[in-house]
A = this chain, B = another copy of it.
């Protein structure tokens, strides 16, 4: 809106550009890869220029978080409440699995995007339709969220690059415990984490909202 007034220097940096650059970096290299200096280099400015648009690094991260949360699909629109709840948490898991760095931020406990916070009241209503009061519904929500959060927290360990080092540690464990190491590795390798996740989520929904 504000056109060049003629006085002072012409603005070329915008908050939007800063957030977009930050998002590109954090999606590519994770939270540890996000540095003020690197964002600045990407937008062609000095590090200090960013401070005109974001208060500090924490606020930049919150802004990126909101940007990602804007891409969250809507929860399932119709059907059995149980199915809608299941579908919502499955959607959340799938979406966050594509933005795993978000879990690092949520884990700190101080930040979450308001857009994502809207899922909580949505779920209260669905559980309400199944006869749970708000107290019980909040408990059920926490239970399902923890399961999603745990699954997501485990995903980095499924990175093929880390497989070798994990199996090595596993062999050491098996040897010390005096158990058959091949048996342990076979059991560990066969895990189909996505199928197991969906199965577990289904079991939890069923136990929380009995019919």
Contacts and interface: CB of A to CB of B under 8 A. Distances in A.
Interface string A102-143: 011011111110111110111010000000001101110011
A119 to B, nearest CB: 9
A172 interface: yes
Given A114-B173, A169-B112, A184-B120, A146 B154 contact: yes
A173 B122 CA distance: 11
Question: What bracket does the count of chain A residues touching chain B fall in?
Answer: 35 or more
Interface stretch (A2-10, A21-29, A35-43, A196-204): A196-204
A72 B141 CA distance: 30
A145 interface: yes
Given A122-B177, A142-B191, A196-B139, A109 B156 contact: yes
B188 A120 contact: yes
A156 B208 CA distance: 25
A179 B125 CA distance: 10
A154 B162 contact: no
A104 B156 CA distance: 12
B139 A179 contact: no
B108 A146 contact: no
Contacts of A122: 177
B154 A142 contact: yes
A91 interface: no
A173 B143 contact: no
A110 B165 contact: yes
B139 A191 contact: yes
**Which of A111, A112, A117, A157 has the most chain B CB atoms closer than 10 A to its own CB?**
A117
